[in-house]
Amino acid sequence: MCIKHAPSNLRKSFQNVEKDLFKWFPGHMGKGLKQMQTKLRTVDCIIEVHDARIPLSGRNTDFKYKVSGIKPHILVMNKVDQIDPKFIPPITKKLQNECSNVVFTNCKNQKCKGVRSIFPLMQKLIDESNRYNRANEEDCCVMIIGIPNVGKSSLINALRNKFLRKGNAAPVGPVPGITRSVMNKIKICDKPLIYMLDTPGILTPNINDAETGLKLALCATIQDHFVGEDIIADYLLYWLNKQGVYSYKEVFQLQEHTDNILEVLTKICANKNKMLKIKDATNNSYVLKPNFVEAAAYMIQSFRNGSLGRLMLDEDIIEQK
């Protein structure tokens, strides 16, 4: 079931998101894409990072045609710590048509096998390629691409920590848009000499349905205020109920599961003291009102920090034959 079949009030607000997202492609992203294309000649391999919670939704199709092209290509599904491991084989199978080099990583774990496996895979692919215009260069250069906030900089830092034993060189943050332009080369390894290029997160210019836009927002690849915390939280509740995931009942201390977002937000406001102090002009006193925006932000955060479980939002697409 997709959101075409959602209750009509939900469908309406979700469809407004679709209209807004169609128009949205910030200037720095267009500039970043051009910068990436001009640097293409100087790289030997492309690593595309994506969020394992949305393995099939929201990948930028422009990358395939305008960036990765003929260069060796590794597809990294990052934040694997946030999904149920049972999804790894079906995701891999589903992605195999597009890329035979799919690696799952958790960049927050120094010991992650996926992170370690990137290095030999990358070297093998570069050795097997004819390196085009770079055959005489001593160093190897790898460009990291992907939509915002999927962990591109974290991956560079994890590889650098592992193979060069040096501290972080690429800025990391919980909100999208931390890296704003194609950065200088970052050294990852001395022997062999390997550099990486961090790039700004670039969303696909065509988010072609509201549900994809809402999944992207839930995974923090689009800033919350752009879609609206209330709408993102409403979609989350819709998705949880649709999948029969009722962990939220316990997390938000509800008696029963519900499809009424106001009921959930009101409960969060009461339990987490998310209240607004509003001046009552008639008798010059203050009244407390529920702060639904903060409650919605709390609810979204509960998904992002894993309190609601290890959830993979493309579950129904993966299940389709």
Ligand X SMILES: Nc1nc2c(ncn2[C@@H]2O[C@H](COP(=O)(O)OP(=O)(O)OP(=O)(O)O)[C@@H](O)[C@H]2O)c(=O)[nH]1
Q: Which of residues 62-101 bind ligand X (CB under 6 A)?
A: 78-79, 81-82
- Cβ proximity to ligand X: between 81 and 263 the closer is 81
Any contact of residue 149 with ligand X (CB under 6 A)? yes
CA distance 20 to 214: 12
- Cβ proximity to ligand X: between 177 and 309 the closer is 177
Chain-centre distance of CA 88, in angstroms? 17
Please select the residue that binds ligand X; options are 179, 204, 212, 302, rule is CB under 6 A. 179
CA distance 95 to 48: 13
Any contact of residue 213 with ligand X (CB under 6 A)? no
Any contact of residue 60 with ligand X (CB under 6 A)? no
Any contact of residue 114 with ligand X (CB under 6 A)? no
Any contact of residue 263 with ligand X (CB under 6 A)? no
Any contact of residue 302 with ligand X (CB under 6 A)? no
Joined tokens for residue 87: 């999804």
Whether 248 and 264 have beta carbons less than 8 Å apart is answered as yes
Whole-number minimum distance, CB 107 to ligand X, in Å? 4
CA distance 31 to 180: 9
Residue nearest ligand X, CB atom distance? 201
Residue set of the binding site for GTP: 78-81, 149-154, 201
Whole-number minimum distance, CB 146 to ligand X, in Å? 6
Please select the residue that binds ligand X; options are 32, 58, 114, 148, rule is CB under 6 A. 148
Any contact of residue 178 with ligand X (CB under 6 A)? yes
Chain positions contacting ligand X, by CB under 6 A: 78-79, 81-82, 105-108, 146, 148-154, 172-174, 176-179, 200-201
